Chain A
Amino acid sequence: MGKYIGKEFSRVDGVAKVTGAAPYAAEFHVPGTAHGYLVMSRIAKGTITKIDTAAAEKSPGVVRVFTHKNTPKFAHPEKYKSFKALQSPEIVFNAQPIAVVVAETFEEARAAANLVEATYRREDPSTDFFGRVEEAEQAPDSPFSGKSVQTTGDAEQAMSSAEITFEAEYTIPAEHHNPMEPHAAVAYWKNGKLKIFDKSQDVYTVRSNLAAALGVPEDDVHVVSPYVGGAFGCSIRTNYYPFLTAMMARELKRPVKLVYTRRQMFTGHGYRPFTHQKIQLGAKKTGELISIIHEAANNTSTVEKWNDSTTRFTRHIYACPNMKTIQRLVKTDLPTPCAMRAPGAVSGMFALESALDELSYKLDMDPLELRLKNYAEVDPANGKPYSTKALRECYRRGAEKFGWDKRQPIPRSMREGNELIGYGMSTGIWYAFQQPATVKVVLKADGTAQLTSATSDIGPGTYTVMTIIAAEYLGIAPEKISFGLGDTQMPKAPVQGGSWTTASVGSAVHGAAMKLKSRLLSLAQKDKDSPLQGLGPDEVVLLDGRLQNRKQTSNGVSIVGILKAEGMDSMTEVHKETPSKIREDYQLLAHGAQFVEVRVDEQLGMVRVSRAVEATACGKIMNPKTSHSQEMGGVVWGIGMALTEHTEVDDRFGRIMNPSLADYHVPCCADVRKVDTDFIEEDDRVVNPLGVKGMGELGMVGIPAAISNAVYHATGKRIRHLPMTPDKVLKA
Chain B
Amino acid sequence: MSVKKHYSFLVNGENHTVESYPANRLLDVLREDLRLTGCKEGCGEGECGSCSVFLDDVMVNSCLVPIAQVQGRQVRTVEALSSDPLGKILQEKFLEHNGAQCGICTPGMLVAAITLLRRNSQPTLGEIQDGLAGNLCRCTGYKKIFDAVADAAQVAREQGVLEGGKA
Binding site for B on A (CB under 8 A): 10-11, 13-24, 26-27, 29, 59-60, 105-108, 111, 177-182, 227-230, 232, 259, 261-262, 458-461, 625-626, 628-629, 632-637, 660-662, 666-670, 672, 675
User: How many angstroms from the CA of A609 to the CA of B29 in the assembled complex?
Assistant: 41
> In the complex, how many angstroms separate the beta carbon of A451 from the nearest chain B beta carbon?
21
A12–chain B nearest beta-carbon distance, Å: 10
CB of B104 within 8 Å of the partner chain = yes
The answer to whether A17 and B106 touch (CB under 8 A), given A180-B50, A262-B43, A661-B45, is yes
A59 and chain B: residue at smallest CB distance: B1
CB–CB A19/B38 < 8 A: yes
7 contacts between A and B (CB under 8 A): A15-B91, A19-B79, A180-B42, A461-B98, A629-B101, A666-B138, A668-B133
Within B73-103, the residues touching A (CB, 8 Å) are 77-79, 81-82, 91, 94-96, 98, 100-103
Interface residues of B in 131-150 (CB under 8 A from A): 132-133, 135-144, 146
Chain A residue at smallest Cβ distance from B20: A107
A14 touches B47 (CB 8 A): no
Q: How far is the CB of B150 from chain A (nearest CB, A)?
A: 13
The reply on B60 being an interface residue by CB < 8 A is no
Contact A629 B37 (CB under 8 A): no
Residues of chain A within 8 A (CB-CB) of B102 are 179-181, 227-230, 458-459
Neighbouring A residues of B138 by C-beta, 8 Å: 177-180, 230, 232, 633, 666
B101/A106 in contact, CB under 8 A:
no
B70 to chain A, nearest CB (A): 15
- Residue of chain B at shortest CB distance from A181: B104
Inter-chain CA distance A179–B25, complex, in Å, is: 22
Q: Which of B35, B48, B91, B143 has the most CB of A within 10 A?
A: B143
B105 surroundings in chain A (CB, below 8 A): 180
Q: A18-B95, A180-B104 are in contact. Are A632 and B133 (CB under 8 A)?
A: no
**Known contacts A60-B1, A181-B40: does B106 contact A18 (CB below 8 Å)?**
yes
Q: Shortest beta-carbon distance, B66 to chain A, in Å?
A: 10
Which residues of chain B are near A261, meaning CB under 8 Å? 44
Tell me whether A20 and B95 are in contact in the complex, defined as CB-CB below 8 angstroms, given that A106-B28, A230-B139 are known contacts: no
Q: CB distance A108 to B136 under 8 Å?
A: no
Selected from B1, B77, B104, the residue in CB contact (under 8 A) with A108 is B1
A-side interface mostly: loop
Indicate whether B8 reaches chain A with its CB closer than 8 angstroms. no
Known A18-B91, A19-B91, A106-B32; contact A27-B98, beta-carbon cutoff 8 A:
no
Residues of A within 8 Å of B101, CB to CB, are: 230, 459-461, 629, 633
Please provide the 9 A-B residue pairs with the shortest distance between their CB atoms, ordered closest to farther.
A20-B38, A459-B102, A17-B103, A636-B141, A229-B104, A180-B104, A20-B78, A632-B141, A27-B37
Chain A residues near B139 (CB, 8 Å)? 180, 230, 459, 629, 633
Beyond A20-B78, A230-B104, A230-B138, whether A670 also contacts B42 by CB under 8 A is no
Q: Count contacts between A and B, CB distance < 8 Å.
A: 176
Nearest chain B residue, comparing its CB with the CB of A60: B1
The residues of B with any CB-CB pair to A shorter than 8 Å are: 1, 20-21, 23-25, 28, 31-32, 35-45, 47-48, 50, 77-79, 81-82, 91, 94-96, 98, 100-107, 110, 128-130, 132-133, 135-144, 146
Q: How far is the CA of A261 from the CA of B48 in the complex (A)?
A: 13
CB distance from B9 to the nearest CB of A (A): 17
Q: Which residues of B contact A105 (CB under 8 A)?
A: 24, 28, 32
Q: Give the residue name and chain of the A residue nearest to B132 (CB).
A: A669
Q: Which B residues touch A259, using CB under 8 A?
A: 41
Contact indicator B98/A629 (Cβ below 8 Å): yes
A20 and B43: CB pair below 8 A? Answer: no
Determine the chain A residues whose CB is within 8 A of the CB of B95 once the complex forms.
10-11, 14-15, 18
Shortest distance between the CB of B6 and any CB in chain A (Å):
15
Chain A residue nearest to B126 in the complex (CB): A670
Partner of B142, one of A11, A20, A636: A636
A231 to chain B, nearest CB (A): 8
Tell me if A22 and B103 are in contact (CB < 8 A): yes
Q: Report the bound CA distance from A23 to B144 in whole Å.
A: 23
- Please name all residues of chain A whose beta carbon is closer than 8 Å to the beta carbon of B132 when the two chains form the complex: 669
Given contacts A18-B100, A107-B28, contact A29 B35 (CB under 8 A): yes
- Among B39, B110, B142, contact of A672 (Cβ-Cβ < 8 Å): B142
Could you tell me if B42 and A18 are in contact, using CB atoms closer than 8 angstroms?
Answer: no
Least Cβ distance of A62 to chain B in Å? 10
Indicate if the CB atoms of B136 and A180 lie closer than 8 Å: yes
Taking the closest CB of chain B, its distance from the CB of A122, in whole angstroms, is 28
Give every chain B residue within 8 A of A670 (Cβ-Cβ): 129-130, 133
Task: Judge whether A262 and B1 touch: CB under 8 Å.
Answer: no
Q: Are A635 and B1 in contact (CB under 8 A)?
A: no
A658 → chain B closest CB, angstroms:
12
- The CA-CA distance from A179 to B102 in the complex, in Å, is 9
Question: Counting chain B CB atoms within 10 Å of each CB, which of A262, A626, A661 scores highest?
Answer: A661
What is the bound-complex CA distance between A672 and B143, given in angstroms? 7
CB distance from A147 to the nearest CB of B (A): 34
CA distance A636 to B141 in the complex (A): 5
The distance in angstroms between the C-alpha atoms of A594 and B139, with both chains bound, is 19
What residues of B have a CB within 8 angstroms of the CB of A669 in the complex?
A: 128-130, 132-133, 135, 142, 146
Cβ–Cβ < 8 Å partners of B100 in chain A: 11, 14, 17-18
Note all chain A residues with C-beta closer than 8 A to B20.
107
Chain A contacts for B25, CB-based, 8 A: 107
Taken together as a complex, chains A and B put the C-alpha atoms of A18 and B144 apart, in Å, by 14
- B143, A675: Cβ atoms closer than 8 Å: yes
On chain B, the residues within 8 Å of A666 by CB distance are 136, 138
Give the Cβ gap from B113 to chain A, nearest Cβ, in Å: 11
Question: Least Cβ distance of B40 to chain A in Å?
Answer: 7
Complex Cα distance, B132 from A108, in Å, reads: 33
Q: Give Cα distance in the complex from A443 to B100, angstroms.
A: 30
**New contact pairs (10) apart from A229-B102, A629-B144, A661-B47, CB-CB < 8 Å:** A14-B94, A15-B95, A19-B38, A26-B31, A111-B1, A182-B42, A262-B42, A632-B140, A633-B138, A672-B129
Residue contact A625 to B98, C-beta cutoff 8 Å: yes
- Give the chain B neighbours of A16 by CB distance below 8 A: 103
Residues of B with C-beta under 8 A to A675? 141, 143
* Smallest CB separation, A651 vs chain B (Å): 25
